A and B are shown apart, each in its own frame.
Chain A
Amino acid sequence: MATLVRSLPVRLVEVSRSGCRLECSRPIESGTSGQLAVELGGVMRIDDIRIARCQMRMGAGPIYQVGAELLRTRRLGRRTVRMAIKTIIDGRMGAGHARNDHDVPIPASVRTTGAGGRSESRAPPAQPSRGP
């Protein structure tokens, strides 16, 4: 037996304190765990995640929406995705990184539904693509 490690390019589109939503060009089976690496605030952040669900985004070609749980397998350090998300949510990441959906001038993130609510999981991000 051996372990096959594959690296999948993903886009981080939505965050919460306990998880995130990714977009990926191929399906990932629920229950799969892996290591997420994203550059946030100029720092490469890494955390372990577990895929909770994966569904194709309708009408968007081969794009899969992946809901993932952030695992607390490592100490909450500066280089973790959880710390970056905490910073975004606390509004300390700096203006322009994300915006509030209701145009409230909060310096960091975003759009939120209330606790226990559901956001529009198929809603496109405010800026669907980044330039190279």
Chain B
Amino acid sequence: MTQLGRRKHSRFLLSQPVEGNLRVREEVAIEEWNESELVILSPEPCRTDERLTLEIPGSVRHRVSVRVRESRPAVVADGPIRHRLRVSVEGHGPDVKKPEGREL
């Protein structure tokens, strides 16, 4: 009989750790978006110069490579503390339509 919360499988420690990569996704709100820069409200802070990918849903999923220029905590009305990220656009995915002075 197993108990909840108890491990069922043996664990093995690797003699040599293996380098890897973890890609995590989080929902963010876009506050502003112009040709070269976006302002995003994120649940997590970011480091300056950190490179990220932004995926914008739609009939075609747009992927935008961005770099963090600024990350500041922000209090959203009646909500938890968020982090306002100012990011610069580094590049677009192959099927991205370039926005033209768009503001959300």
Interface residues of A (CB under 8 A from B): 1-19, 21-24, 28-29, 32-40, 49, 88-89, 96-99, 101, 109-119, 123, 125-130
Contacts and interface: CB of A to CB of B under 8 A. Distances in A.
Given A14-B13, A127-B16, A7 B23 contact: yes
Which 4 pairs between the two chains have the least Cβ-Cβ distance? A110-B12, A38-B20, A34-B24, A109-B12
Contacts, number: 189
A37 B56 contact: no
B37 to A, nearest CB: 15
A120 to B, nearest CB: 9
B28 A3 contact: yes
A77 to B, nearest CB: 18
Interface string B44-57: 10100011111111
Contacts of A125: 13-17
Contact of B24 (A5, A9, A89, A129): A5
A5 B26 CA distance: 7
Given A5-B23, A13-B17, A39-B20, A98 B12 contact: yes
Interface of B is mostly: strand
Interface residues of B, number: 38
Contacts of B10: 16, 89, 112-115, 117
Contact of B25 (A3, A39, A99, A110): A3
Contact of A36 (B2, B11, B13, B22): B22
B21 interface: yes
B6 interface: yes
A36 B50 CA distance: 19
B102 interface: no
- Between A3, A40, A125, A127, the greatest number of chain B beta carbons within 10 A of the residue's beta carbon is seen for A3
B29 interface: yes
B95 interface: no
Contacts of B89: none
A7 B10 CA distance: 29
Nearest to A37: B21
Interface string B27-61: 11110000000001010101000111111110000
B57 A98 contact: no
